[in-house]
Structure formats: structure tokens, C-alpha cells
Chain A
């Protein structure tokens, strides 16, 4: 291993160490916060995912209560019979959705960063 080899090794090691922080910082700046989109019989509402809060939507069979807390959203209460939407739990990643079919209400998370469900090779 010559002197030039060592210099190249050290330079590349530094570049490798900087790779993740630099690109992550750039990505962070460009990405915007995700939104919660609530579609119901009365229309569509948008809520920011990073602010806690709740909203009540009038569905086909009664009211549906949706709560946003610490970056995730869930259906707290619904007037439907099977309560599938309540049991669906909370969602947070862009592309995920909760649907209450009897009430005609769909809650989806929208954002710029789409994540893959799975990778098959």
C-alpha cells in the first residue's frame, strides 16, 4: 500500500461518513409534511398530520370521529355496525388508508415521500 493509496482511502472514508448526513439534510429540506385527507359524503377535508387535533365527519349512517395525535391518525368512533374502521388502528405513512364503507368515509395519508410496501428480488 503506497502513500497515495492511503490518501485515497482516507478521502473516500471521509466521503462515506459524510454521505448519509449530507443527503439526509437535503432530503429533509425538500420534503414537506404529510396531510390527512378525509373524504366523506359531504366533501373532502384536509388536516395536517403534524398537528394534534380531531374532527367529526357526518357519514351516511351517522358521525365518524377522527383524531390526529403524534403524527398518526385513527378513527376513534364511528356509528357503523362492524367498527372495522375503529379496529383498523392508527396510520401514519403516506399511502396508508382507513375506510368506513357503511358511512362512506375514507381517511388517507398523503405525502411526497412514498414508501415501498415490499421489495421482491
Chain B
């Protein structure tokens, strides 16, 4: 009995990476950022917008931080989880609005992961790429769903407004990344 107990105790340490605290830290950080992304997404859905489809995209800042710090696999998972949770909270899960969010989220995370590999592109540039592809994917999904000329008329203003908003979220994400790095050095 005592031998079983000891083997069960040593197992997690063997499974974990060399630094035992690293896994717990990553899980905690991802959890906090998922919560942040969800809250930002829900709060954002309350903010009225002058043009339909134009939103701040603050939730993308949290996803971008995960992408920079933990890689694209975690960012992808977190992004999908965020869409599901926000959909559940706002009551749009599995509806047409949710189809727009999921297509935007998947496209932006994939393109941000690709943009991250381009040398010289900073967090701000990656964020701009993410915001642009998010809007573009949503427009494509909307044109499939609606099949109307209104979506086409919306394309240029929506895509243009995504660029400064991408700059803003990129700046926020950059600040968050440097803050988190400073925090880790201190701990």
C-alpha cells in the first residue's frame, strides 16, 4: 500500500517538464487569460457600435498574449473555448452570430500564427493581421449566410476600421506581454 502511494506521488513529477512549476503556471495563466478573453468578449457585446460588425476586438488581445507566450496550439484552443463560452453567456451559441464568431476566431488565430513566423513583424503587426482576417472571415461567412449585396457594401468600411482597432489591441497585448514577462522575472 505504501509503495503504491509513493509511486503515485512520483508519477506527476515524472510526467511534468523539468521545471515542476512550469505546467501549473501555464495552466493558471491560460485559465486567467481565457477568463479575461470571455469577460472582454461579453462586455464588448454590450457596447453599441455605429457600424454593424465593427467591434473593439479586445478579446483578441488576450488571445494574442497566449499566442506570443504559449504558442499557437494553446491560442487556438483558447480562442475556440472563448467563442463557445461567450456564445453560451450571450445566448447566441449555435446561432448565425456564433457561426460568424467561430469563423472569425479560427481565421484570425491561424493567420496570426502564420504572421508570427514572418521575421520583423512585432506584436502590433500580428494584431493588425489578426483583426483584418477576423473581419474578412466574418464578411465571407456573412455573405454565404445572407447572400445579399449589403455585405459587399460593408466590406471596405469594416476592413478599414479593423486596422486602427488592430493597432490598439496590439498595443494592449504588447503591454500585457511585457508586464507578464516582468512579473515572471520577479517571482
Given the interface pairs A113-B148, A114-B147, A114-B148, the reply to whether A5 lies near B128 with Cβ below 8 Å is: yes
Kindly identify, within residues 120 to 148 of chain B, every residue whose CB is under 8 Å from any CB belonging to chain A. Answer: 120-122, 124-125, 128-129, 132, 136, 139, 146-148
Query: Is the Cβ of B125 less than 8 Å from the Cβ of A8?
Result: yes
Kindly identify, within residues 37 to 94 of chain B, every residue whose CB is under 8 Å from any CB belonging to chain A. Answer: 92
Query: Is the Cβ of A27 less than 8 Å from the Cβ of B128?
Result: no
List of B residues within 8 angstroms of A13 by Cβ: 160, 163
The B interface is mostly helix, strand or loop, or mixed, namely: helix
Q: How far is the CB of B109 from chain A (nearest CB, A)?
A: 17
Query: Is the Cβ of B148 less than 8 Å from the Cβ of A1?
Result: no
Is B14 on the interface with A (CB-CB < 8 A)? Answer: no
Kindly identify, within residues 1 to 51 of chain A, every residue whose CB is under 8 Å from any CB belonging to chain B. Answer: 1-5, 8-9, 12-13, 15-17, 19-21, 23-24, 27
List of B residues within 8 angstroms of A17 by Cβ: 156, 160
Query: Is the Cβ of B119 less than 8 Å from the Cβ of A4?
Result: yes
Query: What total count of A-B pairs have CB within 8 Å?
Result: 76
Complex: A27 Cα to B115 Cα, angstroms: 31
Given the interface pairs A20-B153, A114-B148, the reply to whether A12 lies near B119 with Cβ below 8 Å is: no
Is B118 on the interface with A (CB-CB < 8 A)? Answer: yes
Contact with A23, one of B125, B132, B155, B160 (Cβ below 8 angstroms): B155
Complex: A4 Cα to B116 Cα, angstroms: 12
Contact with A3, one of B120, B147, B152 (Cβ below 8 angstroms): B120
Query: Is the Cβ of B120 less than 8 Å from the Cβ of A2?
Result: yes
Query: How many A residues touch the partner, as a band?
Result: 20 to 34
List of A residues within 8 angstroms of B180 by Cβ: none
Kindly identify, within residues 94 to 121 of chain A, every residue whose CB is under 8 Å from any CB belonging to chain B. Answer: 113-116, 121
Complex: A13 Cα to B167 Cα, angstroms: 13
List of B residues within 8 angstroms of A121 by Cβ: 92, 97
Contact with A4, one of B125, B139, B148 (Cβ below 8 angstroms): B125
Is B159 on the interface with A (CB-CB < 8 A)? Answer: yes
Given the interface pairs A23-B155, A115-B148, A121-B97, the reply to whether A5 lies near B163 with Cβ below 8 Å is: no
Counting chain A CB atoms within 10 Å of each CB, which of B97, B122, B162 scores highest?
B122
Query: Is the Cβ of A4 less than 8 Å from the Cβ of B163?
Result: no
Is B149 on the interface with A (CB-CB < 8 A)? Answer: yes
Q: Can you spell out 11 A-B residue pairs with CB atoms less than 8 angstroms apart?
A: A1-B124, A5-B125, A8-B121, A8-B125, A12-B132, A15-B132, A19-B155, A20-B152, A20-B156, A113-B149, A121-B97
Having A12-B163, A19-B155, A27-B149, one finds 7 other A-B pairs with CB under 8 Å, namely A4-B120, A4-B121, A5-B121, A16-B159, A27-B152, A113-B148, A116-B146
Which residues on B are within 8 Å of A, measured CB to CB? 92, 97, 115, 118-122, 124-125, 128-129, 132, 136, 139, 146-150, 152-153, 155-156, 159-160, 162-163, 167
Please provide the 5 A-B residue pairs with the shortest distance between their CB atoms, ordered closest to farther: A16-B159, A4-B120, A5-B125, A19-B155, A20-B156
